Structure 1
């Protein structure tokens, strides 16, 4: 079968993956993307993820794609929950190393170096994403209390700061980290 996109007279086989900003936490922590709308001939899609130490790509899962992480620079820890074995699988990755997040598996990435650049490649041109932050903030406290015997008010207080989808976290000013005896806000 011949792809009609490849036969188009205005066929474009190159694009700038830095042009479309997907998410920006601050000037050092942001995500750009390249998907079908920017390059119709692409059969997959990807995010350029730039992060600094301690930043996390929030826990999430994809309903329709498998994701491959390629570390370009820096060092990260990728973690994925295996629903079949009920085990957490974590990998410390350096430049050139790769990990996979199978479709539907809960996963996240934590930056371990001052600056990291990660390429997240999907096996479809557009990923569906379910963010853990949305899942946590939208479950009624009464459901959590009944399902897990968790104190409803404590749960409500714990998730109260989550006001929107979080992609790169923690939110600015949210938590403190101690390094070398000095406490700083992230």
Structure 2
């Protein structure tokens, strides 16, 4: 009976996946047409339905989830109306002691607004730049310059929500730990000095997804444990960056 009870759930997940693929294909077709349009009025005529100008942050499109929270990003790939408008926006939710781990947006500056609670946020821009950090509370915002390495930590024992506006319709994201440890293991080992290749492999395979269960000082304060975390965002391995046998 338990097996049969799981069938509707599995079918529902499969149908949702098919629908998301179909929606992504339709969005790609729309963006291709928008690229050919010579004027904004012509683009308006391509996006002829009023709902083409509406993005539902509750629908799960553009949502990434992991142990420490989730975010939903509206960008040109899932919301074609953003084409040529130079912006995207994410809504993020961090669990108690959750952290949006260090990352960059290669094509966009980010302006982050805290809806509730309190977060610790910091960034580093480039070689020679100082580290900038702030405690950002409800109703406050902070900026992460284009290309800077930045992070956010929920330092409280309750969930927090933030809004992130980005000044490119395709801002991109590069997770620092996953991408760095995705380089050839001997290159990473040499970069880290006395760390051996075996240690690099162990570190690389243990990196969790971007919304992680955060820093120890928060976990201790809130009496929480880190527990298991998903590890689906690690760099794929090909001949050039393969682990040694």
TM value normalised by structure 1: 0.81
How many residue pairs are counted as aligned between the two chains? 178
* Residues 1:177 and 2:198 aligned together: no
SS of 1:185's partner is: coil
Shift in Å, 1:118: 0.5
Partner of 2:162: 118
CA shift in 2, pair 1:129/1:185, >3 Å: closer
Supply the distance in 2 between the matched residues of 1:167 and 1:138 (Cα, whole angstroms): 15
Where has structure 1 moved over 4 Å in runs of 4 or more?
none
Q: Distance in 1 between matches of 2:188 and 2:77?
A: 39
Larger Rg: 2
Report the equivalent of 1:10: 49
Match of 1:68 among 77, 92, 111: 111
Q: 1:75-154 counterparts in 2 under 5 A? A: 75-83=118-126, 85-113=128-156, 114-152=158-196, 153-154=198-199
CA distance in 2, matches of 1:183, 1:116: 16
Q: CA offset at residue 7 of structure 1? A: 4.1
Task: Label 1:183 to 1:56 Cα distance change in 2 as closer, same or farther (>3 A).
Answer: closer
Name the CA distance, whole Å, in 2 between partners of 1:24 and 1:61. 18
In structure 2, relative to structure 1, the CA distance for the partners of 1:140 and 1:40 (3 Å cut) is: closer
Distance in structure 1 (CA, Å) of the matches to 2:200 and 2:63: 30
Q: Which has the higher contact order (CA 8 A, sep 6+)?
A: 1
TM-score for both structures, normalised by structure 2: 0.63
Higher helix share: 2
Q: Which has the higher strand share?
A: 1
CA RMSD, Structure 1 to Structure 2 (Å): 2.6
> In the alignment, is the contact (CA less than 8 A) between 2:109 and 2:146 conserved in 1?
yes
Query: Is the 8 Å Cα contact of residues 18 and 33 (structure 1) preserved in structure 2?
Result: no
Q: Which runs of 5+ in 1 are unaligned?
A: none
- Unpaired runs of 5+ residues, structure 2, are 1-37, 228-245
Stretch of structure 1 that moved more, 29-38 or 116-125: 29-38
Q: Do the aligned partners of 2:88 and 2:166 also contact (CA within 8 Å) in 1?
A: yes
Partner of 2:200: 155
Q: Distance in 1 between matches of 2:105 and 2:76?
A: 17
The C-alpha deviation readout for 1:11-63, integer Å capped at 9, x for no partner, is 5433312221421125x822122222443333211111011221111111111
User: 1:34 aligned to 59, 74, 77, which one?
Assistant: 74
